Structure 1
Amino acid sequence: MSIRNSSLPPRSLPKKPKRNNKKGFFARLGKAIFIIFIIAVLVVGGYLTYLYVKLDQGVLDTGVDKPVAPEQSAKVKPLTMLLLGTDNRPKHVSYLTDVIMVVSLNPVTNSATIVSLPRDSYLELDGYKKDKINAYYSRFKKKEKTSGISAEDEMKTMMGKYLDVDVDYVTILDFQAFRDVVDALNGVNVNISADMCYTDSVDGTDINLKEGPAKLGGDEALDYVRYRKSNCVPKTKGSDDFDRNKRQSEVLHSMIDKMQSLGGVAKLGSILDAVNNNMKTDIERDQLKNMMTEYYKISKEDVEFKPVTGTWRSPYVYINEEELDAAKQSLQDRLAEVSPAPSDSP
């Protein structure tokens, strides 16, 4: 994963919704442990049966209650999902997306490709007004009543066109889910590379993290993945989208480690509640079961991360076109994969 350090772009307060900046993957994981990651965190450690039963009994109120045709099952068909982390919190209603990822899954090779895009990316696409990529979900939300098209469907269409793939599903997670999941796991272990300090009385942000190994609770972990710039005296070093992507990955791996521990098993009910209460998806419940059944043993080696970077020129990140083309190709290649031919050698 290529991470570039540069001065943090100032956090601009969008016309109404603030950009997805707050949400980081968990920008929201950093804000949102999007579904694939949530699925990975929850089932990689061997919790498939528990989740499957919860879904089957309707206890976990997640997903769409309609049948899935056998040929559309995740067990046999490669699928692509859009994962969004929104800057939505109890005292801050917003649909800006801090986390924007597209995941392609292939059941034949039991593998996945995950492409992440900076939230401040400048998007210029036929049929759409030029803007930061994190602003479109909020814009589509405002137009739902007049357009008759859900913001989620609009995002699938737009991102599919942008990345040259058909997007089958979309999942949205918010800030609170991230906090609750981290707290349910009794915190995450990270190694903070530098001091981080930022305060905002408007939304209650109070980031004050010190360099070195640390165990972070939900609020602090959210601060860690969200941090962009400092307004403290003395100022601490700023952070760009690419630095945040790196921290999001660090937090994710720590969460997976926690889930694979005995403590994670004991906390599973609380984790499911956090996901259930703070996630929206158009994935059918039966399809969720199919995904869990098919991918619960996927290994880290079979998950390819393709973060797309770019150059910051306020107020946008201008995407590296070569990286974007490579990301598109990786998604397409993953969907087209077939099992390797058997070797002729004895």
Structure 2
Amino acid sequence: MGNTTGGGLPPRSSGNRGRSAEAAPPRRSSGSSGGNGGGRKPPTPKRKKSGAKRFWTIFSIVLILLIIGAGVYLGWIYQKSQSIGEAGEPVKPANTQPIAMALLGTDFRSETGSHLTDVVMVAAMNPNTNTATIVSLPRDTRIELEGYKVRKVNAYYPTFLAQEKKGETEAKEAMQRMLGKYFDIPLDYVTVVNFQSLRDIVDALGGVDVDVTMDMCYKDTADGTDIDLKAGPQKLDGKNALDYVRYRKTNCNPPTGPSDDFSRNQRQQQVIGAIMDKVQSFNALTKSGSLIDAVAGNTDTDLENKQILNLVKTYWDIPKENINFPKVTGTWNSPYVYISDSELAAAKQALKDELAGNHQPAVPAAGE
């Protein structure tokens, strides 16, 4: 099993790959929007859509690509990548059969010990069409699902971790069952990545060149946050790159400007672009070993080693237009986001269509 810095999990007690999602009633109240569930009036105003979806989607792909660097190193890197994933043969080889997996991005830092999954995505991939569909849930999504206590979606993983420590089901397997039931599809795998991975990857690359868009200053002694960036072109190390994409507000004197979600989205894509530039350079390929170590040290997955190789070989050159990101938004009424029923239903159907080989092309948003 892959390890996780500061938050490693014990070995899996039993496999759960390739099985259907936990049995569930044909139709249920899961994922129902608070807008009309139980007579709840849709709250207003609408909360601005987070930029985390595109950032973590691309970032998760980058993490997978970093495992191999480039085809010329495939044999050596396969040996090196044994530190990621599990042994054994995949039940459903990703190069011949469609698979679905959950991707969780946790805000784990040694300073806080938090395992909240600020990123929750489900990806379905089909090798026969060389396409993929990725659905991202807002972290504050209210989950109302038969057999589970009502919570924000980002609170389930730490809850399952606590139960795992008491001898109950392993946390990743519990997330696999819960999200499979919520989306009404069988999930084959779960991969958990923490924010430390971004910092380690940038450091393994020797830093990335970024034109910082504005002065940023924010300090928090409770969790060790110390953001202090000046506007202008510069090379960011891992710590400053993570600060750059996380910055929201200031508490310094003199104060720096605030950042909205749209600006954060732009910065996140900017840093990912800088990482991709480095990864695709020859210099980065010579550092594949340290990059794999950076990924392995911050990734916990039940993917088999051979399945990881299958994924890389199959989807290495997937065109971006072949990836569909169904929109899932909702309305904010503290402390929850109440998901749109129609958007959630469409997203569920898109995942099912992907697995069935009926990929639905992405629909550009207005203004794109």
TM-score by length of 1: 0.79
Shift in Å, 1:90: 3.1
CA distance 1:25–1:221, shift in 2 (3 Å): farther
Per-residue deviation, residues 176-205 of structure 1 (Å, max 9, x unmatched) = 221010122233355555554322111110
The amino acid that maps onto 1:200 is: D
Shift in Å, 1:246: 5.2
Shift in Å, 1:169: 0.5
Contact 2:143–2:150 under 8 Å retained in 1: yes
Shift in Å, 1:224: 2.5
CA distance 1:224–1:313, shift in 2 (3 Å): farther
Matching of residue 154 in structure 1 with residue 179 in structure 2 = no
Matching of residue 236 in structure 1 with residue 257 in structure 2 = yes
Shift in Å, 1:209: 3.8
Equivalent residue of 2:202, what SS? helix
Partner of 2:227: 207
Shift in Å, 1:58: 5.7
Contact 1:65–1:285 under 8 Å retained in 2: yes
Equivalent residue of 2:124, what SS? strand
Equivalent residue of 1:85, what SS? strand
Shift in Å, 1:318: 2.6
Write the mapping of 1:1-346 to structure 2, written as runs, cut at 5 A.
6=48, 33-34=59-60, 36-43=61-68, 47-55=70-78, 57=79, 60-69=82-91, 72-146=92-166, 148-190=168-210, 195-210=215-230, 215-233=235-253, 234=255, 236-240=257-261, 244=264, 247-337=267-357
CA distance 1:273–1:136, shift in 2 (3 Å): same
Contact 2:66–2:292 under 8 Å retained in 1: no
Contact 1:156–1:170 under 8 Å retained in 2: yes
CA distance in 2, matches of 1:245, 1:209: 18
Per-residue deviation, residues 134-183 of structure 1 (Å, max 9, x unmatched) = 11100000011445311101111111122222111011111222101012
Contact 1:196–1:209 under 8 Å retained in 2: yes
Partner of 1:13: none
CA distance in 1, matches of 2:270, 2:292: 21
The amino acid that maps onto 2:258 is: K
CA distance in 1, matches of 2:111, 2:233: 31
Shift in Å, 1:328: 2.0
Equivalent residue of 1:306, what SS? coil
- Cα RMSD of the aligned pairs, angstroms, is 3.1
Which stretch has the larger CA shift, 119-128 or 191-200? Answer: 191-200
CA distance in 1, matches of 2:274, 2:207: 9
CA distance 1:302–1:188, shift in 2 (3 Å): farther
Shift in Å, 1:229: 3.4
CA distance in 2, matches of 1:275, 1:203: 23
Which stretch has the larger CA shift, 297-306 or 129-138? Answer: 297-306
Q: Which runs of 5+ in 2 are unaligned?
A: 1-45, 361-368
Equivalent residue of 1:153, what SS? helix
Shift in Å, 1:321: 3.1
CA distance in 2, matches of 1:178, 1:96: 17
CA distance in 1, matches of 2:265, 2:351: 19
The amino acid that maps onto 2:284 is: G
CA distance 1:312–1:143, shift in 2 (3 Å): same
Shift in Å, 1:6: 4.7
Per-residue deviation, residues 185-239 of structure 1 (Å, max 9, x unmatched) = 2333555555543221111102234556554321122122223333334363243
Equivalent residue of 1:199, what SS? strand
The amino acid that maps onto 1:62 is: I
User: How high is the sequence identity, in percent, across the aligned residues?
Assistant: 48
Q: Which runs of 5+ in 1 are unaligned?
A: 9-23, 341-346
CA distance 1:314–1:270, shift in 2 (3 Å): same
TM-score by length of 2: 0.74
CA distance in 1, matches of 2:191, 2:260: 27
